[in-house]
Amino acid sequence: MQRAVFPGSFDPLTNGHLDIIKRSAPLFDEMIIAVLNNLDKSPMFTAEERCEMIREALPSVDTSECTMLVEAFSGLTAEFARKSNATAIVRGIRAVSDYEYELRMALMNRRLEPTIETVFLMAGEEYSYVSSTLMKQVFELGGRVDGLIPGLVEEKMRAKQNR
């Protein structure tokens, strides 16, 4: 049984994340989408809200035989992956600019947990510029983000804005 962890902030979930989830599915039997409860940042959505929107968006993705679980976590990703009995940490790479940061994280995670490998997947080129930060910024300034984030996420962002 190959279990992977796909960690991230997911604030909010983008179609780029869903693309990585879809690409990971044939590679693993089970994947935990691990939502960081990042207390040091001030996220737009709480960890529970982020988990909820991922759960709601998952049925729109073909995850074939892979069981997808969504969990919030705090602390180290490597520690969470070990406790979850995962053998791999999945991360998406959009462009060369992601590589340096991802390499440092992968090496640190490997030092912390030598038996867990980081698996990098290349995001679809149509999402190569899509990040949660950019989506929030464009949305908050009134720009269009449809096609780049799931519709249900856009609705939740709109609800937050009007609050």
Tokens of 21: 């989830």
Piece of 57-65, 103-111, 119-127, 147-155 that binds ligand PNS (CB under 6 A):
103-111
- Residues found in the chain: 163
Strand pairing report for 67-73 and 30-36:
parallel
Beta bridge partners of 70: 33
Cβ–Cβ < 8 Å for 78, 116: yes
Applying CB under 6 A, the site for ligand PNS has a residue count of: 10
Q: Which stretch binds ligand PNS (CB under 6 A): 7-15, 24-32, 144-152, 155-163?
A: 7-15
**Which range touches ligand PNS (CB under 6 A), out of 1-9, 20-28, 50-58, 152-160?**
1-9
Residue type, 72: A
Question: Interface with ligand PNS includes 43 (CB under 6 A)?
Answer: no
Q: Which of 13, 36, 47, 157 binds ligand PNS (CB under 6 A)?
A: 36
Closest CA to 125 of 57, 23, 55, 35: 23
Residue 9 interacts with ligand PNS (CB under 6 A): yes or no: yes
DSSP state for residue 68 in the 8-state scheme = E
Report the residue from 5, 6, 7, 123 that binds ligand PNS according to the rule CB under 6 A: 7
Residues lying near ligand PNS in the complex (CB under 6 A): 7-9, 36, 76-78, 105, 108-109
